[in-house]
């Protein structure tokens, strides 16, 4: 492994770059340069070594990790740095922003104290001076009411606000290099746009280097000056962003670009990495998909659906928060209803209310003509079999103490499906095969699988009860583009084979366009626009929908729209 960070040439001269290493033999190491005042993006699938590469710079790796080669910072090899020297470097000259801000912020300390800590440790500021500087930093990253936020705890902030706090903390000591590891992956498109513009602005104004790690090529095309494509711990290709996006030389880079669904094109199936590398066209759909299904039976009809939460204020008063208000729609068998909107728009609450994981406060939902909310006891249990959910986080939705076999058998045992365990095991093995896993997965535990494989298992678990409707709550948002393409193709195949209906909740409009037949756009708990997906996205009638579309990262095209033609 070899890094060169910062300028190696004289003052005012252009930074020198390392050579590209695409095609080098495995085990030859990774070679990467990060010049001053430049944004370098690391892209690749999950497991390609992006985060390990970045965390190697400051040795933020597990104890069993072993580094070799050279990591040069201003000509000095960091592999030989002592723990004390690395502590002086971390946060002062090199800072990090991680993917999950809630996992990085200490829940028992206020925002102000956490931002002030590096200022006091590295710069020797007094507590009062550090808090005053923390307030300035929160204002710089665009957090409203910065003085009031100093006394807030992380759980009192939204995901986008937490990420702004992390950026403020990273910028506190004015580092020369900022490492941003998937900083926008779990954010909706409008918050993602704000964070990207913030990172771009502070990088330019502070004249620092930025190492940006992402699997979203649309984001990378907008923010990066240079791109490094990784696979299996090796650099496959690197160069200026324009060259990588317009004329990629490596087949793997071309495959990554082809996996991403587009907002402006129609394709029945997505390319996957292995197909593209082998020169194969995407596999055809299992059966032709009808353009219209007006004659298909209506499975779910929501009429004025509402859900409120109540919060105590003082001793006697309570405040009502209307999370979902007057939502109405129809979902037909074999079709997909897409639900989009910003975080807090009510998408997930609406989906959970459909499953009666939240009890509705108003309205009615008819499931195959029956009132979903009227049933209790065994009748409710029987209806629950017919509508299942796949959650966003495949790492949190599987019990780590259960084998995959136990996970699949449990719902069948609860609902008394199958005559005995042998029959249930046969069904579970058939479901694993259907979602692309073999029989060896049956006896393994969740930690032995990748994120994409875990999401396939979650889908198999949802299918154990032969449901007619699946609620997919951000089911592919945490997956990289190649695994995402596999799961989306799988969902379409299952829909065609089994006649499933989907409620597909997502903040990714390109993915929704690929999956959904009808679309609901939600804001503040209400439906502001609905209609046929392609027609609605091509000509939205509401300013809110147009703002969502404008926030979608579009790679080089998006950069050109913001900055004009590139030189």
- What Cα–Cα distance (Å) separates residue 151 from each residue in 106, 117, 161? 13, 14, 14
- Mean pLDDT to the nearest integer, 206-232: 89
Q: How far apart are CA 189 and CA 554, in angstroms?
A: 11
pLDDT of residue 197: 87
257-261, 332-336, 528-532, 556-560: the lowest-pLDDT one: 556-560
> Using one digit for the tens of pLDDT, what is the confidence trace for 162-189?
888 999 999 899 899 999 988 877 677 8
Give the per-residue pLDDT at 342.
85
Is pLDDT above 60 for 21? no
Assess whether pLDDT exceeds 50 at residue 79: yes
Report how far residue 300's alpha carbon sits from residue 261's, in angstroms, rounded to the nearest whole number.
Answer: 28
Both tokens assigned to 471: 């609620």
Nearest to 38 by CA among 240, 304, 174, 186: 240
Give the percent of the chain with pLDDT over 70.
Answer: 90
Q: Are residues 207 and 342 in the same domain?
A: no
pLDDT at 448 over 70: yes
Least confident of 23-27, 460-464, 513-517: 23-27
Provide the CATH number for the domain around residue 519: 3.40.50.300
Question: Cβ(349)–Cβ(550) under 8 Å?
Answer: no
Q: Can you give the pLDDT at residue 3? A: 52
pLDDT in the model for residue 485: 86
159 and 80 in one domain?
no
Residue finishing a domain among 208, 224, 240: 240
Same domain, residue pair 67 and 184: yes
Q: CA-CA distances (angstroms) from residue 225 to 26, 203, 241, 372?
A: 27, 12, 6, 53
Assess whether 208 and 120 both reside in one domain: no
C-alpha 158/C-alpha 165 separation (Å) is 11
> Among all chains, which residue has been given the structure tokens 């006697």?
316
Provide the token pair at 451: 């994120």
3 state SS of 433: helix
pLDDT at 567 exceeding the cut of 60: no
pLDDT band at 559 (very low <50, low <70, confident <90, very high): low
The separation between CA 357 and the C-alpha centre of its own chain, rounded to angstroms, equals: 24
pLDDT value, residue 20: 31
In-domain check, residue 14? no
Q: Is residue 467 domain-resident?
A: yes
Is 254 within a domain?
no
0.75 exceeded by pTM: yes
Q: Which of 207, 240, 273 is the last residue of a domain?
A: 240
According to DSSP, the β-strands at 518-523 and 526-532 are antiparallel
Residue 57 falls within a domain, yes or no? yes
CA 32 from centre of chain: 26
Same domain for 145 and 191, yes or no, is no
Query: Are residues 336 and 403 both part of a single domain?
Result: yes
- Are residue 169 and residue 180 in the same domain, yes or no? no
Whether residue 317 is contained in a domain is answered as no
pLDDT at 4: 52
Residue 556 in this model has a pLDDT that exceeds 50:
yes
309-351 tens-digit pLDDT: 988 877 788 888 899 999 999 999 999 999 999 877 889 899 9
The span from the CA of 102 to the CA of 69, in Å, is: 34
- Mean pLDDT of all residues belonging to the chain: 85
Same domain (yes/no): 150, 228: no
CA distance 337 to 323: 20
Residue 216 resides in a domain: yes
Q: Contact, 241 vs 22, CB < 8 A?
A: no
**At 293, is the pLDDT very low, low, confident or very high (cuts 50, 70, 90)?**
low
Number of domains in the chain: 3
Q: What distance in Å separates the CA atoms of residue 510 and residue 528, rounded to the nearest whole number?
A: 19
In this prediction, residues 68-81 reach a mean pLDDT of 87
User: Could you tell me if residue 18 is inside a domain?
Assistant: no
324's tokens = 């979902």
Alpha carbon distance 78, 56 (integer Å):
10
Instruction: Indicate the SS3 state at residue 95.
Output: strand
* Boundary-marking domain end, from 211, 240, 269: 240
State which residues form the domain around 66.
39-90+176-240
pLDDT tens by residue, 390-412: 987 777 789 999 999 999 999 99
The more confidently predicted of residues 19 and 254 is: 254
More confident residue, 52 or 470: 470
pLDDT of residue 557: 66
440 and 418 within one domain: yes
Give yes or no: residues 231 and 139 share one domain.
Answer: no
pLDDT at 106: 92
CB 429 within 8 A of CB 26: no
**pLDDT, mean of residues 499-505:** 94
Q: In what order do the strands lie in the sheet with 370-371?
A: 317-332, 298-313, 362-367, 370-371
Q: Do residues 289 and 489 make contact, with C-beta atoms less than 8 angstroms apart?
A: no
Same domain (yes/no): 161, 84: no
The answer as to whether 158 is a domain residue is yes
- My answer on whether 115 and 147 are in the same domain is yes
CB under 8 Å to 278, separation ≥6 — which residues?
none
């Amino acid at each position: 492994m070899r890094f060169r960070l910062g300028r190696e040439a004289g003052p005012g001269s252009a930074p020198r770059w390392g050579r590209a290493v695409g095609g080098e033999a495995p085990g030859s190491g990774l070679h990467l340069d990060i010049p001053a005042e430049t944004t370098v993006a690391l892209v690749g699938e999950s497991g390609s070594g992006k985060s390990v590469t970045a965390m190697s710079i400051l040795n933020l790796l597990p104890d069993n990790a072993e580094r070799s080669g050279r990591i040069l910072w201003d000509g000095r090899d960091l592999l030989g740095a002592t723990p004390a020297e690395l502590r002086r470097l971390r946060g002062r000259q090199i800072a990090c922003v991680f993917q999950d801000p809630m996992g990085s912020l200490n829940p028992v300390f206020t925002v102000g104290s956490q931002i002030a800590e590096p200022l006091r440790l590295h710069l020797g500021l007094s507590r009062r001076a550090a808090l005053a500087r923390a307030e300035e930093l929160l204002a710089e990253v665009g957090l409203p009411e910065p003085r009031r936020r100093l006394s807030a705890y992380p759980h009192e902030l939204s995901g986008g606000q937490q990420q702004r706090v992390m950026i403020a903390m990273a910028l506190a000591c004015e580092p020369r290099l900022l490492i941003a590891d998937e900083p926008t992956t779990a954010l909706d498109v409008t918050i993602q746009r704000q964070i990207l513009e913030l990172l771009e602005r502070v990088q330019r104004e502070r004249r620092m280097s930025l190492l940006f790690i992402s699997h979203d090529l649309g984001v990378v095309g907008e923010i990066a000056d240079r791109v490094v494509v990784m696979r299996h711990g090796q650099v496959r290709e690197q160069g200026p962003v324009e060259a990588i996006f317009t004329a990629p030389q490596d087949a793997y880079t071309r495959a990554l670009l082809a996996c991403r669904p587009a907002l402006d094109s129609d394709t029945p199936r997505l390319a996957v990495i292995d197909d593209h590398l082998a020169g194969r066209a995407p596999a055809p759909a299992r059966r032709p998909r009808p353009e219209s299904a007006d004659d298909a039976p209506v499975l779910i009809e929501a009429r004025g659906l509402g859900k409120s939460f109540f919060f105590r204020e003082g001793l006697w008063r309570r405040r009502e928060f209307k999370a979902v208000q007057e939502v109405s729609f129809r979902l037909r068998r074999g079709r997909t209803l897409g639900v989009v909107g910003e975080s807090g728009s009510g998408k997930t609450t609406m989906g959970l209310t459909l499953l009666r994981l939240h009890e509705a406060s108003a309205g009615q939902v008819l499931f195959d003509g029956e009132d979903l909310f009227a049933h209790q006891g065994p009748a409710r249990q029987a209806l629950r079999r017919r509508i299942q959910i796949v959650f966003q986080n495949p790492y949190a939705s599987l019990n780590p103490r259960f084998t995959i076999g136990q996970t699949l058998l449990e719902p069948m045992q609860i609902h008394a499906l199958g005559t005995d365990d042998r029959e249930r095991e046969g069904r579970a093995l058939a479901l694993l095969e259907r979602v692309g896993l073999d029989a060896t997965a049956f006896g393994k535990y969740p930690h032995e699988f990748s994120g994409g494989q875990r999401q396939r298992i979650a889908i198999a678990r949802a299918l154990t009860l032969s449901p007619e409707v699946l609620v997919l709550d951000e089911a592919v948002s945490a997956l990289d583009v190649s695994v995402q393409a596999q799961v989306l193709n799988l969902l379409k195949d299952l829909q065609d084979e089994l006649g499933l209906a989907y409620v597909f909740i997502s903040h990714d409009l390109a993915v929704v366009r690929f999956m959904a037949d009808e679309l609901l756009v939600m804001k503040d708990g209400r439906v502001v626009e609905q209609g046929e997906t392609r027609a609605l996205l091509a000509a939205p009638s509401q300013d809110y929908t147009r703002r969502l579309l404008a926030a979608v990262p579009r790679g080089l095209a998006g950069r050109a729209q913001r900055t004009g033609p590139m030189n």
